[in-house]
Amino acid sequence: MLKSGVLTTPIFVLASASPRRQELLAAAGYTFTVRTADVDETPHPGEAPDAYVARLAEAKARAVLAAQPGALVLGADTTVVVDGDILAKPEDAADAARMVGRLQGRAHEVLTGVALVSAAWSRVAVASTTVWFAPMSAAEVDAYVASGEPMDKAGAYGIQGRAARYVTRIEGSYSNVVGLPVALVHALLAEYQGG
């Protein structure tokens, strides 16, 4: 439950190994434990990007809930979408360069599915943020990929790192682009407590 902005449920668990999600949740003042779940992140044939992130967020949360049935579990999944295509984490440097090349000089969407589940309650929602990238030269793309920053991030970039120099505008939640829409999480927690 939330009392004076503080969650006082017996166990609040973040079902994510992402250090960025952990940092965002901690910075917002929440106390939680971390437990990860091994979930197949392969998109289903014809699956819409928003349905994809919602499904994965809920699957992660429910996998952790099965191991800790008394907990309130938060699951999340973020992806980048351009021209209707899901850009997950790059497989290698060439894949990262391909993704960044598709993003430069235009707008794209960042979607995060958020699932909050307990044994008797659940909600799933999706946050969307539009991000505009400045044009990048081939040398700039190569240098960014060589930095190593893109390798563990959806869409092959981190807005909170070196890629910030190329982000000209965003519309929506900044924390969503980092990996967790904190205001949406707060709203779901408030709904969970009934207020």
Find the catalytic residue in 38, 77, 85, 152: 77
Output DSSP code: residue 165: G
77 is catalytic: yes
Cα separation of 172 and 110, whole Å?
A: 10
Number of C-beta neighbours around residue 135 at 10 A:
10
Residues 6+ apart with CB under 8 A from 3: none
122-133 and 167-171: which strand pairing?
Answer: antiparallel
Number of C-beta neighbours around residue 12 at 10 A:
18
- Tokens representing 154 are 């959806």
Cα separation of 12 and 33, whole Å?
A: 6
Is residue 190 helix, strand or coil?
helix
Cα separation of 124 and 101, whole Å?
A: 32
* Residues known to be catalytic: 77
